[in-house]
Structure 1
């Protein structure tokens, strides 16, 4: 049975890295196990080693060991044997390019569909959708395809932001950009706010956390869904 957590972010205001998610991760991953961390997104350009160490320290509190995927001689084999997988945030274009470069898209998809627990945050959650085309990131490099894991039958916009009333900012809002996406693409988009996540258990997709999510469907007005809404019929 699929066991996936798709989180908008790794860190929320006034908390340490992954702090708000750790109670959920205590049961998502098995204490005493070793999970594989995928550091390819490299937020702010930090090294794979630096990023992995940051994750390792966070998981120590729930007795889960972490090893970076870059530390293995055979990344495919590491994924196939992993007790769990975590893909961290950063730049989605770089992340997807590296996943394709190591020929890991199909391997990760296969093991997660077979039940290996998966956690994605930010860029690592963006790639859980059908494509990465609703990322917020700059295209600092060019992946061979925008197609991603497709663990859920829609796209995801992590870190979704609402327009700020009274703001003098004249740039596009997130809603404007997602509406632009829908002039060409038909799949729904889920705007996940900071501190929210989707829990995928088998075929069920449940919004968790304390905030609503904003749903965008082509040729329809955007709408809100409450926490614990089942989104498995959203296609």
Structure 2
């Protein structure tokens, strides 16, 4: 987990020195975007500080959250997670239905002094309540700099790629219950949900880049 922000910083390093791509990159307008654990990653890159003790305490209250069941698997008690993983080149960030954010300290979120777009999924798949995850970020991020949007008919998996026409049957054959990956809420297709997400992101970036 603690290597994820570092990987993105190294990506920016590589782009910055690339003889071809560097000519097309404005290093004063770098934005990071991530979904799920990627949402956690871009928040950490923006300056959010994880506290393993805080996360442990929160899990005594919200033990039903899947993140609390993945402590060993993801190394969520490793002190490496407590270090500063921010990158000063990040000027805005976009989080898509992030997870594990309840380990970020309130003060570190309050101190993020640039724009953010937080998009959450309105339909809980069982352990990703939007108010306990994306809503937690919004609770402490600057209200003047942060935009918080909940898409009512989106699930956590609605942000993933479009599924093949027979994907649900294939997934159910592979492992019972896995078809949830291809299911969205409401009457809209995933393509329509993606269009809304895309429009929100483009609008956010357009406003950020005007400044």
Bin of the TM-score, shorter chain as denominator length: 0.3 to 0.5
Larger radius of gyration: 2
Q: Pick 1 or 2: higher relative contact order, CA cutoff 8 A, min separation 6.
A: 1
Higher strand share: 1
Normalised by the size of structure 2, how large is the TM-score?
A: 0.36
Normalised by the size of structure 1, how large is the TM-score?
A: 0.34
Higher helix share: 2
